[in-house]
Amino acid sequence: MEIGKVPENILKRAVFKQIHHRRQEVFLYPGVGEDCSAMTVGQNEALVFSVDPITAAGSGMGTFAVHITANDIASSGAEPVGILLSILLPPRKREKYLRELMQEIETACKGLNIEIMGGHTEVTDAVNKPIITVTGVGKAEKGSVVSTAGLKPGDELVMTKWAGLEGTAIIAAEKRGQLEKTLPPELLDTAAAFTDYLSVVPEAKVAVNTGVSAMHDVTEGGIFGALWEMGEASGVGITADLMKIPIRQETIEVCEPFGINPYQMMSSGSMLIGCTNGNLLVENLKKAGIASAVIGRATDSNDRIVRSGEEIRFLEPAGSDELYKIYEKE
């Protein structure tokens, strides 16, 4: 199998079809595009859980780890409460690295009012670079939990911030030496600082208060992958307009040398939201200082497409994320 997400057809056959035992407390189950699970803990209370590994990021991976998991929890309409960490380090790493990594994770957690609740730390020759796996815990009222699968025909699709956000920051940081040959330092500084926009916790709060049918944070596979996953999870068609998908010039510039399609690149920090009134949500997000745009709608067909003028692109399940192209020649 290729590096990246396991292909959807294999995921369905080898993973989901092997899960049979259920408990009555659990009411949000594994599925395509579903990043969280949820269970009741009282008459009206629910706990929400999510788990994510961080393997692609080098510098700043502790920050990425916290935000990506918190974003999953927030995308379910829940409040992130805490995380549990599994940190696997190769033998060559020193104590100083681990201490600084934990300081970075603690700083990110403090900014989101999240507690490090526990975890596991190990040095092993089974890995050749650090791997962080984060399990997130959130809380919500049972009736307010939002799934990726709630989209209905006619719902409008709102996207926050910009396509390729997370990948842009990673490329600018890890490939700066190469990119400085053709791009100005100021542009690379701005691109690397996209890490400041990684959290979708603020927009999730605005969206829930405005009223939504579905939410999904845009991660591996980029906005094209997120559109497919929300449509697949909900069993609806999707029509999106490429010209309405927000993207920064910095992203276009850092992707071009590697032949990367930014619409299929990691985009943590961006959220895809289904709702009945996209313009109202965009206005409420604007009041909160969050950029967003209505980029399409759900349909009652089986087609999931992106239009660009007269051209039509049929969406497919996300394959290997475009970001991995930066490592192909290493």
Domain ranges across the chain: 22-144, 148-327
**Helix segments in 163-322, DSSP class H:** 165-174, 176-179, 185-192, 201-210, 222-234, 249-255, 278-287
Residue 82: the pLDDT is 92
CATH number of 22-144: 3.30.1330.10
Q: Are 121 and 141 in contact (CB under 8 A)?
A: no
Tell me: the pLDDT tens digits for 138-168? Answer: 999 888 889 899 999 999 999 999 999 999 9
Residue 5: the pLDDT is 64
Helix or strand run (H / E) with residue 8: helix 8-10
Q: Are 190 and 162 in contact (CB under 8 A)?
A: no
Tell me: the pLDDT tens digits for 28-67? Answer: 777 776 766 777 787 788 999 999 888 765 678 899 899 9
Q: Which of 307, 185, 160, 328 is nearest to 260 (CA)?
A: 328
148-327 belongs to which homologous superfamily? Answer: PurM-like C-terminal domain (3.90.650.10)
Residue 55: the pLDDT is 78
Rounded Cα distance, 12 and 260, in Å: 28
Tell me: the pLDDT tens digits for 85-106? Answer: 899 989 988 889 899 999 999 9
Residue 29: the pLDDT is 73
Residue 306: the pLDDT is 97
Confidence of residue 23 (pLDDT cuts 50, 70, 90): confident
Instruction: Note the pTM of the prediction, 2 decimals.
Output: 0.84
Residues in the chain: 330
